[in-house]
Structure 1
Amino acid sequence: MKAIQYRAIGGYVENALVEIPSPTPADDQVLISMRTVGINPLDNTFRSGHHWAATPENLPRVGGQTGVGQVVESRSPLYKVGDRVFVTGPGFGIIVDGTWRELVAASPAGLAPIPEHVDDDSAAAFLAGAGYLTGYLVLTQFVDFKPGQSILAPGIGGAVGMESVQIAQKLGASLAISTASTTTKAEQARAAGYEHVIDLSKESLRDGVTRLTDGKGVDVIVDGIGGRLIGEALGCLVAGGTYAVVGYAGGREVNVNLTDIIWKSAQVRGFTLRGFNAETLANAQKTLIGYLADGTIQPTISKLFPLADASEAVRYLIEDRPFGRVLMRIAN
């Protein structure tokens, strides 16, 4: 079968299209014919050698953390041939082979039924980037968020920024703010219904938050950008506010004015999905699939690539910073 496999740590070219043996499902596993798969910045982090698991001993490795497909063989009573399913699993694409291949054998714990009226591409976009899951867990499990409070989730084009805004609105936020690095992206976001987007090419983050909150600041920040943005964003919190650091797409090194933490009694917390047990993750995903089914959340797709163009697909996500999810089509 065809797959995208890393055989060495390095540049985009290491997203190599190869032929590898098809998997055989073990007892209680399900064999899925993959249709559409997502691309996550973590896929690039691993392949480029900036992840703890990126070692020669952990290669070769099939990439991809999430996707959707159709059951073609089942050894589980929970699924039958023909079922359409979300596909993920612990360590997919990092410490075990992932979803960027034609066939995946997976345990039922990593699967969930796709709502009938949701197409494959929208379903794959829902999982890609883990933005919905991150935003939901931050606001319901990780910080003391209450309806009527305000949030800032920078980076409207990315999974965490865009999807945390949707989740915050569902959970009753009074104001859900994001940012755009260019006027074009800010206008694109507003046209898509994201009303409170700060155009960082026209005003600073602090000035934008001050304007939108009448000088009060925000209660919660869900930040998947990191880098130099952290220093400025900390000053946007209300007294006693919480800053959840969930990623570092903009860099790992930061400069912080400690008075922004001390004088406001701010909480700064590092977030990782690995901090939650399997039951909590499964329950959260079940709730989110319900939101997807009833149209409360609406995934945005930027571009769909064929599997053979994996190198360009990953480059497009990392360098062009598109508005929405980047996917690869494996089968129709």
Structure 2
Amino acid sequence: MQAIQYQAYGDYQENRLVELERPQVKDGDVLVQMRTVGINPLDNTFRSGHIYLATPDKLPRVGGQTGAGVVVESRNPAYKAGDRVFVAWPGYGLAIDGTWREYIAAPAAALSPIPEQVNDDDAAAFLAGAGYLSGYLALTEFAKFKPGQKVLAPAIGSAVGMETVQVARRLGASMTISTASTTEKAERARAAGYEHVIDLSRESMKDGVLRITDGKGVDVMVDGVSGNLTGQALGSLAFGGTVVVVGYAGGRKAEVDITDIIWKGATIRGFTFSMFKLEQIVAARQALWGYLNEGALQPTIAKIFALSDAAEAVRYLIEERPFGRVLMQVAR
């Protein structure tokens, strides 16, 4: 079978197309033919060697953390051949071989049925980037979100930004705010139904938040950008507000005004999936699949690449910062 495998840590070209043996299915497991897989910024972070997990013993590694596929063989009563399934499991593409391959032998706990009305591409987009899962856990577990609160999630085109906004709406936020780096992207987001999008080419995030909230600020910020926005994030909070730092697409260094932390009684939380128990992640995914099934979440696709174009697909996600998720088609 074909797969995308890292044989060394390095640039995009380390996303190598290789031929591997089709996996054997053990008792209790399920063999899934992958159809569409998602790309997560963490895939790039790991392959480039910029995370603590990127140690020599982790190589070679098949990339990919999530995807959608169809069961072709089952040794578990929960699934039968022909079932369409979401595929996601802690450690895929990092600690153990992931989803960027034609076939994967997975434990039944790594699978969940795809609703009939959701196609394979939308299913893969739902998981790609882990934005829905990150946003849900950040809001419910860290920020202790309450209905009626105001939520800020910068970078409307990104997984964390776009999907946290959708989750916050479903949880009952009174207002959701995001940002866009250009006027074109801000206008596109508003046309897609995201009412409060700050155009960073015209005003700062802090000024925009205070304008939209009549000077009151937001109760929660889920930040997948960091860098230069971190200081503005703290300045955008209401008293007693919380910032949950999920990522650092905008840079690892930040300058902050310490009085924004003290005088606002602010809470800052760092986010990583390793902080959660498996049962918390499983419960969160179940809740999110329910929201998807009821139509409350709308996965957005920017572009779909062939599996053989993995290097360019990852580059496109990281450097072009598209509006929506980037996927790779494995089979049809």
TM over 0.5: yes
Secondary structure at the counterpart of residue 186 of structure 2: helix
The equivalent residue for 1:119 is 119
Counterpart Cα distance in 1 of 2:34 and 2:111: 12
Secondary structure at the counterpart of residue 32 of structure 1: strand
Could you tell me how far 1:161 is from its partner in structure 2?
Answer: 0.4
Alignment of 1:41-60 (within 5 A): 41-60=41-60
Compare 322-331 and 262-271 and name the one that shifted more.
262-271
Counterpart Cα distance in 2 of 1:144 and 1:67: 29
CA displacement 1:217-260 (0-9 Å, x = unmatched): 00000001111110111000011111111111111111111111
Secondary structure at the counterpart of residue 121 of structure 2: helix
Could you tell me how far 1:299 is from its partner in structure 2?
Answer: 0.3
Could you tell me how far 1:56 is from its partner in structure 2?
Answer: 2.5
Could you tell me how far 1:192 is from its partner in structure 2?
Answer: 0.7
The equivalent residue for 2:208 is 208
CA displacement 1:28-74 (0-9 Å, x = unmatched): 00000000000000000011110112223221110000001000110
Alignment of 1:229-308 (within 5 A): 229-308=229-308
Secondary structure at the counterpart of residue 131 of structure 2: helix
TM-score (norm 1): 0.99
CA displacement 1:160-215 (0-9 Å, x = unmatched): 10000011111111110000001111011011110100000000111100110000
The equivalent residue for 1:326 is 326
CA displacement 1:282-311 (0-9 Å, x = unmatched): 111111111111111000000000000000
The equivalent residue for 1:193 is 193
Counterpart Cα distance in 2 of 1:10 and 1:226: 24
Aligned partner of 1:179: which letter? T
Counterpart Cα distance in 1 of 2:4 and 2:55: 18
Secondary structure at the counterpart of residue 281 of structure 2: helix
Could you tell me how far 1:136 is from its partner in structure 2?
Answer: 1.2
Q: What is the alpha-carbon root mean square deviation over aligned residues?
A: 0.8
The equivalent residue for 1:174 is 174
Aligned partner of 1:72: which letter? V
CA displacement 1:126-151 (0-9 Å, x = unmatched): 00011111111122222121111101
TM-score (norm 2): 0.99
Q: What percentage of aligned pairs have identical amino acids?
A: 67
The equivalent residue for 1:311 is 311
Compare 273-282 and 19-28 and name the one that shifted more.
273-282
In structure 1, stretches of 5+ residues that fail to align are none
Secondary structure at the counterpart of residue 136 of structure 2: helix
